[in-house]
Structure 1
Amino acid sequence: MHPAELAILLHRALEARLAKLQGLLADDDWATETEALHQVRVAARRLGAVLDLVDPEAYPGLKGRRRALKNLVDLLGLPRELDVHAATLEARLAEAKTPTQAAVLEHLLEGLERARAKARRAMRRGLEDLRLPDLRRLLDVPSLPHPFQHASLQESAWACLATRAEAALGDLASLSIQEDASALHKARVRIKKLRYAVEALEAAFADVPEGLLKDLRALQTALGDHHDLAVLEAHLWEVEEGLRARGRKILHAGVLDLLGEVAESRRALFGRAADLLYVQTPAAFARTIRPALGLPLEEAPRP
């Protein structure tokens, strides 16, 4: 059970994030608009990050509501991914240097638009079946059977963050050695959850660690851009295989050229991410976060 001061801080963070999500969902057209869909997904993730921090014993029904939020995030995943791919190809189309390049990109966008329409139809069916529980029940005053524990808000906040920092940052240096798109994507998810946790506990800080949050956001962005290109590259290889099988030589050659450009951009992003991965460690996180909370640095264990 969290100490009362931390429980109250987290409940207030929960209130703010739930209000944001409910406000977005109140727009009847949110699922049809690219940016609104993205914002709903982000808001659901932010709310989920707070629910991961609260004491489950204080919130009856928490497990079911957390699972429903995850289902919502997952349901919006493919439409969002295809929206990103479309934006990437549209930007390249706007900069096409030859009619052949433009024709190839238009062909890819036509196929992508069909996939986007199909994904959104599936999403709408999924939303109809989702049946989100009454999330407002999360705002019921939680029970605090043992509120007066002998721990400061700052020590309690650090206890919440320490294990999450170890899980999110503990193996990042190894990921910088060899490119592994799947492992990098999983690391990005963990880093995002850690950043959201720091932001949820903002009121506990004597000095909000803006520099650290900026660094985590930059790493998250680099890994996200890398993931988007890795997924787009896999999609383009599927298209390439189909064009080659059908003997579409001009389109096939154009897709191969585009694949080369995407792969080069992906490798460059990995290089940028690798530099950032190497410096983010649990020890570095502690050296920034503990003083920001007004806590002394922990002594390093003696050899």
Structure 2
Amino acid sequence: MHPAELSILLHRALEVRLARLQELLDAPDWAEDEEQLHQVRVSARRLGAVLDLVDAEIYPGHKGQRRALKGLVDTLGLPRELDVHAGHLRNHLLQAATPAQAAVLEHLLEQVDRGRAKARRAMQKELDRLRLPDLRRLLEVPALQNPFQSTSLQEAAWSCLETRAEAALGELPDLCAHEDPSALHKTRVRIKKLRYAVEALEAAFAEPPEAVLKSLRTLQTVLGDHHDLAALEALLWEAEAGLRLRGRQNLAAGVLDLLGGVAETRRTIYGRFVELADTLRPAAFGRAVRPALGLPPLDGILA
């Protein structure tokens, strides 16, 4: 059970994030617009991050609301991923060096666009079925049972962040030693949740945690770029195999040529990740965050 001061802080963070999500969901045809769809997904993730921090037992319907938000995020996942693929391919098309390269990219874009249309139809059906519960119920004032705890707001905030920092940053050395796209993507999701948690708890800080947030945001962005390229590679390999099976040898060769450039860019971004990860480990996070909270350093913190 959180102390009352932290529970109130988190409830206020909940109000802000819920208001933003409701504003986005109230916009007409938001699901048809690439950027609005992306913003709804981000906003739902931010709200979910606060719900992961609050004491669930004092909020009526918490489990169902959290499940519904996850359902919304998952439903928007494939359309968003295909939008990103299409964006990458359009950028490559603008930079195509020869008509043959442009022809290959136009062919791939046609395939991706068909997939996007299909994914959006499925998404719309799922959204109609999902029927989000009344999220405003989350703003009902919770009953704070036994709210008076001996710990301070700052210590309580650190307790929330400590385990999340270990989960998000603890595996960075292994990931720097071996490039595993799936594991890197999972770490990116955990880093994003850690950043959202820091943002939700910002009012508890004696000093704005801008440096920490910037480091997390930069690492998350690099991992996001890596994931997008790794996913695009997988799509291109699948397209190349399909073209070869249909005897489209020239198009298949063009896809292989494109794959080489995508793979090279992915490896460059992975190198950037290794550089950044070396400076952001759990111990470094603790050394930066505890003083910003106004707390004394701890010997061997998150070693």
- Identity of paired residues, percent? 70
Query: CA deviation digits over 1:131-167, x for unaligned, max 9?
Result: 1111100000010011111111111100111111111
Q: CA–CA distance in 2 between the matches of 1:163 and 1:250? A: 52
Which residue of structure 2 lines up, in the alignment, with residue 190 of structure 1? 190
Letter in 2 for 1:297: P
Q: For 1:171-250, what aligned pairs fall within 5 Å after superposition?
A: 171-250=171-250
Which moved further from structure 2: 201-210 or 44-53?
201-210
Structure 1 residue 247: Cα displacement: 1.6
Structure 1 residue 282: Cα displacement: 1.2
Q: CA–CA distance in 2 between the matches of 1:50 and 1:214? A: 20
Which residue of structure 1 lines up, in the alignment, with residue 118 of structure 2? 118
TM-score if structure 1 supplies the norm length?
A: 0.98
Q: CA–CA distance in 2 between the matches of 1:60 and 1:111? A: 45
Which residue of structure 2 lines up, in the alignment, with residue 24 of structure 1? 24
Q: Secondary structure of 1:279's match?
A: coil
Q: Is it true that 1:6 corresponds to 2:6 in the alignment?
A: yes
Q: CA–CA distance in 1 between the matches of 2:42 and 2:165? A: 21
Which residue of structure 2 lines up, in the alignment, with residue 48 of structure 1? 48
Q: CA–CA distance in 1 between the matches of 2:208 and 2:282? A: 18
Query: CA deviation digits over 1:165-211, x for unaligned, max 9?
Result: 11111111110011100000000000000000000000000111111
Root-mean-square deviation (CA, aligned residues, Å) is 0.8
Letter in 2 for 1:85: H
Q: CA–CA distance in 2 between the matches of 1:166 and 1:179? A: 20
Q: For 1:122-137, what aligned pairs fall within 5 Å after superposition?
A: 122-137=122-137
TM-score if structure 2 supplies the norm length?
A: 0.98
8 A contact 1:175–1:277 mirrored in 2: no
8 A contact 1:44–1:73 mirrored in 2: yes
Which residue of structure 2 lines up, in the alignment, with residue 286 of structure 1? 286
Q: For 1:80-159, what aligned pairs fall within 5 Å after superposition?
A: 80-159=80-159
Q: CA–CA distance in 2 between the matches of 1:170 and 1:176? A: 12
Gaps of at least 5 residues in structure 1 are: none
Q: CA–CA distance in 1 between the matches of 2:216 and 2:145? A: 36
Which residue of structure 2 lines up, in the alignment, with residue 58 of structure 1? 58
Gaps of at least 5 residues in structure 2 are: none
Which residue of structure 2 lines up, in the alignment, with residue 297 of structure 1? 297
Q: Is it true that 1:35 corresponds to 2:35 in the alignment?
A: yes
